[in-house]
Amino acid sequence: QLQLQESGPGLVKPSETLSLTCTVSGGSISSSSYNWAWIRQPPGKGLEWIGSITYNRKTYYNPSLKSRLTISVETSKSQFSLTLTSVTAADTAVYYCARDQTGGSCPDWGQGTLVTVSS
């Protein structure tokens, strides 16, 4: 069974860079059948799709985050990563990584990791 696990700092200072990694186990990150996605949820609020990456490194980004966002994949480590620059308090959220099978449908999710932006 596919498992995903987010990792990274739980606290980031304003104006700095948020970096998270998702480790995939129980399946191949190199499959051409899936994309690998990041989704976030501010405390008490709804879900926001951040972006996704294909096995061959094609990326799809939320237009509202595109200027600050990079998603990359390291197939040798079965990991994909999120980098968000110039963060503010509005970037405080639980960040989830997920497998996207088609058109944004995600059957497998990590447990989520809370990232707080504060000085």
- Residue 117's H or E segment, with its range, is strand 113-117
- Distance in angstroms between the alpha carbons of the first and the last residue of the chain: 39
Q: Are strands 108-109 and 93-100 parallel, antiparallel or unpaired?
A: antiparallel
Least distance (Å) between residue 103 CB and another protein = 3
Q: How far is the CB of 107 from another protein (least distance, A)?
A: 5
d(CA 85, CA 92): 13
Query: Minimum distance from CB of 26 to another protein (Å)?
Result: 16
Q: Pick the closer one to another protein by CB: 13 or 45.
A: 45
Biggest CA-to-CA distance, the chain: 41
Closer CB to another protein, 10 or 46, in the complex: 46
Sign of dihedral through CA atoms 46, 62, 3, 81? negative
Which residue number, 15 or 64, has a Cβ lying nearer to another protein? 64
16 vs 108 by CB, closer to another protein: 108
Interface residues toward another protein, by CB under 8 A = 37, 39, 46-49, 51-52, 60-64, 66, 96, 100-107, 109-112
Q: In the complex, what is the shortest distance from the CB of residue 89 to another protein, in angstroms, rounded to a whole number?
A: 20
